[in-house]
Copies of this chain bind each other. A is one copy, B any other.
Amino acid sequence: MKTILVVGGGAAGATAASRAKKVCPSCRVVLVEAGGYITHAPCAIPYAIAGLSEEALWLYQEESFEVERGVEVYTKTKVVDIAGGRAKLEGRLAGLLDFDVVIVATGARPWVPQVEGLDKKGVVVLRGVDSVEEARSLLRGAARVVVVGAGYIGVEMADVLNAMGKKVVLIDVGPFPMSKVLDPDIGKLVASYMESRGVELRMGERIERITGGDRVEYVVTDGGRYPADAVILATGVRPNVELAVKAGARIGPTGAISVNKYMEAGPPGVYVAGDVAESIHKVTGEPVWIPLATYANKMGYVAGTNAGLGARVAEFHPVAGASVTKFDEMYIGAVGLTEAEARRKGMPVESYVVKTHDKARYMRELRDVTLKAVISRGRLIGVQAVGLTQSISGYIDLASQFIGRPVEELFNAEYTYMPFTAPVWHPLAVVGRLWLRHHYRSNGPPAP
């Protein structure tokens, strides 16, 4: 009987295990997870803390997973060593396990700047399911909360804390929130909206230490000192590459594990999937490390399928980092490269910023939408969009399909329209129109 060991019970590992068993019912599939839960969804953490999610649903029960999927599941089990088709386990399942195939889905762990005072009461690192209860009890009495890190999770935490009535200070070394995926012209819209909703932004500041007695009292940066009853650290994550390396995988240029499109990591029978793995960028063709839940699920699906069948059947394709988040009523989305990023890479770049609405212009309750398109050599390479409308997420899904393609396709494409849902010229169609207007065709007169 073929034994497939899956290490890590997050999105990638749980999907891979379930999938491997499905395509290979005769296989023994063993899923081990170091923590206490499987299929935990880190994206849910801010909303779980705020009570906006149904607890019972965002955690999958180990038992039902076993019964429904036919996978052996062991939580609180750690793989301490792996080599030559044998894993050394500790915890609930201890001892040696021989396997034919391993799928390493060890995910990522929070990265925290090593400053003084991290150990004080009132400081939480968002770290998974367990940190939800910790954060909740901590926040119950906290009036002033400092959030460090203004990436997706930091912005979402600022959102839920602000909605809970806390006084929120958001600190980041970058010049504005989400500066990795937004250009300054779009980022400043996010910043001013957050400030208008009462969040105090301290951008371009680096945390130096956390002071106080037993409990936190102040967060000190190179730019100021902020009183805090609680501190949330959302300063990013790093891939848990150690086990994959022991299994013979190679660390790529991004620091995550290098895999091919079948999620194979090199040595026969070793697959790597999820936040621990690199992918290939659709625009640059270079390895990138973008730990997103959608990729983790799909990578797990691909790895599980190929591992179960013992064949190269499923593929994970290049990515462009399509992502979206929200703060209060503002939705913020991006895909592909920012203008700044493309310039740093030495690409020729032009960009268009389209200001329009989410509805026909004659409708009441119009919401403004700002969409920025980044173009290089006549191809769309990035889109950023913000607005007080959920339509933003649809724009980014749609823009993802045009990344790498000629800009005029944005004009030629078909878009739905009715007064409640869209302007008659979709913002992406406007980008195509603007671009055509400004360019000459090689074979004739000025383009339209």
Residues of A within 8 A of B (CB): 11, 19, 23, 41, 43-44, 47-48, 52-55, 57-58, 152, 156, 282, 292-294, 297-298, 301-302, 305-306, 309, 311, 313-315, 317, 319-320, 322-326, 331, 333, 335, 360-364, 390-391, 393-398, 400-402, 411-422, 424-426, 429, 433, 436, 441, 444-448
The distance from the CB of A324 to the nearest CB of chain B, in whole angstroms, is 4
Determine the chain B residues whose CB is within 8 A of the CB of A55 once the complex forms.
362
Shortest Cβ distance from A390 into B: residue: B421
Closest to A52 in B: B364
**9 further A-B pairs in the complex, CB-CB below 8 A; given A53-B419, A335-B416, A391-B394:** A41-B362, A43-B360, A44-B362, A55-B362, A58-B360, A331-B421, A335-B414, A393-B418, A394-B398
Q: Is the Cβ of B314 less than 8 Å from the Cβ of A447?
A: yes
The one of B331, B397, B422 in contact with A426, judged by C-beta atoms closer than 8 angstroms, is B397
Residues B41 and A360 in contact, CB atoms below 8 Å apart: yes
Cα(A317)–Cα(B55), bound, Å: 48
A53 B362 Cβ-Cβ under 8 A: yes
User: Is B415 a contact partner of A322 (Cβ separation < 8 A)?
Assistant: yes
Q: B residues within 8 A CB of A426?
A: 294, 397
Q: Are A52 and B363 in contact (CB under 8 A)?
A: yes
User: Known: A11-B424, A54-B362. Is A325-B446 also a contact (CB below 8 A)?
Assistant: no
Q: How far is the CA of A64 from the CA of B290 in the complex (A)?
A: 50
| CB <8 Å contact, B397 and A301 | no
| Inter-chain contact B415/A446, CB cutoff 8 Å | no
Separation in Å of the A76 CB from the closest CB of chain B? 23
Copies in the complex: 2
Supposing A23-B448, A426-B397, A446-B313 touch, asked if A57 and B417 sit within 8 A by C-beta, the answer is no
Q: Are A416 and B333 in contact (CB under 8 A)?
A: yes
Least distance between A216 CB and chain B CB atoms (Å): 28
Is A293 in contact with B400, judged by CB distance below 8 angstroms? no
In the complex the two chains form, is A362's CB within 8 Å of B393's CB?
Answer: no
Give the chain B neighbours of A393 by CB distance below 8 A: 391, 394, 416, 418, 421-422
The answer to whether A44 and B314 have CB atoms under 8 Å apart is no
Identify the closest chain B residue to A401 (Cβ).
B401
Residues of B within 8 A of A305 (CB): 448
B301 to A417, Cβ gap below 8 A? no
Query: Which listed residue (B333, B397, B447) contacts A398, Cβ 8 A?
Result: B397
In the assembled complex, the CB of A424 is this many whole angstroms from the nearest CB of chain B, namely 5
The interface centre, meaning the residue of A44, A53, A421 with most chain B CB atoms within 10 A of its CB, is A421
Question: Which B residues are CB-close (under 8 A) to A292?
Answer: 417
Q: Are A416 and B322 in contact (CB under 8 A)?
A: yes
Return chain B residues, CB-CB under 8 Å to A43: 360, 417-419, 424
How near does chain B come to A52, taking the closest CB pair, in angstroms? 6
- A212 CB to nearest B CB, Å: 33
3 nearest A-B pairs in the assembled complex, by CB-CB distance = A394-B394, A58-B362, A305-B448
- The residues of B that contact A294 with a CB separation of less than 8 Å are 414-417, 424-426
Contacting residues, chain B, for A419 (C-beta < 8 A)? 41, 43-44, 47, 53
Chain B residue with Cβ nearest A361: B57
- Enumerate chain B residues within 8 angstroms of A44, measured Cβ to Cβ: 360, 362, 419
Contacts of A309 in B (CB 8 A): 445-446, 448
Determine if A364 and B54 form an interchain contact, defined as CB atoms under 8 angstroms apart.
yes
* 17 A-B contacts (beta carbon < 8 Å): A43-B360, A44-B360, A44-B419, A53-B363, A294-B417, A294-B425, A298-B411, A306-B448, A313-B444, A313-B447, A313-B448, A390-B390, A393-B418, A393-B422, A394-B394, A400-B415, A401-B402
